[in-house]
Amino acid sequence: MTKTKKTQELEKPIWLKYTKQEVTAIILKLANKGLTAEKIGLTLRDQYGIPNVKIYGIKIKEVLKDKFQEPTVINLENKLNKIINHYKKNKQDKKSERSLIINKAKLKKRSEYHKKNKK
């Protein structure tokens, strides 16, 4: 027995006023404020009434990819800074020491990957 994926094409609701260009402009405006892709999605849902950006045939990460550094690298840098600050205050915390090592490796791996692919 094989399972088939149900592909649903999302249709834009009648009550939704924004166009594709307006949504991308809103995404870029929110990104300039320093919000991550996840926070941008929540803001679009809560403040602008846009339930899902896929309705417009776009993705938040694709819009951010053109203008900014890869969002995952930015998120990893922020997380690493938080862990470093925590570890400086709590030297006895061995779990944070391990997560510091792991996150440094992740950041190095992702940044090398993006440098290699941009050339």
71 pLDDT above the threshold of 80: no
Q: How far apart are CA 1 and CA 23, in angstroms?
A: 42
Burial of residue 60, with CB atoms counted within 10 A of its CB: 0-12 exposed, 13-18 middle, 19 or more buried: buried
pLDDT of res. 1? 47
Place of tokens 């941009």: 118
Measured between alpha carbons, how far is 113 from 115 in angstroms, rounded to an integer? Answer: 6
Q: CB-based contacts of 84: which residues, under 8 Å, 6+ apart? A: 100
List pLDDT tens digits, range 16-53: 888 889 999 999 999 888 888 889 999 999 998 888 88
Token pair, residue 49, equals 């009434």
Domains of the chain, by residue range, sit at 20-67, 71-118
> Based on the number of CB atoms within 10 Å of its own CB, is 64 exposed (0-12), middle (13-18) or buried (19 or more)?
buried
pTM exceeding the 0.85 threshold for the entire prediction = no
Round the average pLDDT of the chain to a whole number and report it. Answer: 83
- How many Å apart are CA 21 and CA 43, to the nearest integer? 17
**What is the per-residue pLDDT for 90?**
94
Determine the pLDDT at residue 7: 44
More confident residue, 34 or 67: 34
Q: Would the pLDDT of 98 be above 90?
A: yes
